[in-house]
């Protein structure tokens, strides 16, 4: 079975999209190749990496990348995690079969000790539902 390619997008590619990439690899690495990028990439947030590690999710190889580095590429699914990225990706020169928009609040802007864990939990919940739908669709189509 060919792995589906999934791209997570957010503004800085420093927290939410990196968490999405790492989490999808953790949850379904056998079925998906996960990538992430940002419209204005910044360095990975230490608190985001710590939240992943705290839940036993590997962070090796995670790095912030510009959206332009994926120009011309085809993805099965693009998951946009913020308004800024949603606006910017209208001009992106890549393609996807499925385009999802999950507005996850930027944990850098939330003044709570568990902001990154909350964002990771929200991404996990949405990914769990999406994976269940994908599994059902795959079963129905086979």
Has residue 116 got a pLDDT over 70? yes
Residue 70, number of CB atoms within 10 A of its CB: 20
Residue 53, number of CB atoms within 10 A of its CB: 12
The percent of residues above 70 in pLDDT, for the chain, comes to 96
Residue 33 near residue 62 (C-beta atoms within 8 A): no
DSSP letter, residue 79: E
Closest among 106, 8, 107 to 62, alpha carbons compared: 8
What SS3 state is found at 66?
Answer: strand
The domain that contains 90 carries what CATH number? Answer: 3.40.50.2300
Residue 1, number of CB atoms within 10 A of its CB: 7
Indicate yes or no: pTM above 0.95: no
Instruction: Give me the helices (H) in 36-114, please.
Output: 46-54, 83-88
Could you tell me the residue range of the domain that residue 92 belongs to?
4-141
Q: What is the pLDDT of residues 38-49, one digit of tens each?
A: 988 999 999 999
Residue 76 near residue 28 (C-beta atoms within 8 A): no
Q: What is the pLDDT of residues 79-113, one digit of tens each?
A: 999 877 777 766 677 788 998 999 899 999 999 99
- Give the start-end residues of each E strand in the chain: 4-10, 32-38, 74-80, 95-101
Tally the domains of the chain.
Answer: 1
């Amino acid at each position: 079975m060919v792995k589906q390619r999934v791209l997570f997008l957010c503004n800085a590619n420093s927290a939410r999209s990196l968490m999405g990439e790492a989490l999808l690899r953790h949850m379904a690495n056998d079925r998906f190749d996960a990538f992430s990028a940002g419209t204005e990439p910044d360095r990975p947030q230490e608190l985001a990496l710590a939240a992943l590690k705290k839940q036993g999710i590997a962070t090796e190889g995670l790095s912030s990348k510009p959206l332009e580095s994926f120009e011309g590429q085809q993805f099965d699914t693009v998951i946009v995690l913020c308004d800024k990225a949603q606006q910017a990706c209208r001009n992106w020169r890549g393609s996807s079969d499925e385009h999802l928009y999950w507005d996850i609040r930027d944990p850098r802007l939330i003044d709570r000790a568990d902001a990154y864990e909350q964002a990771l939990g929200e991404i996990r919940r949405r990914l769990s539902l999406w994976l269940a739908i994908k599994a059902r669709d795959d079963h129905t189509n086979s």
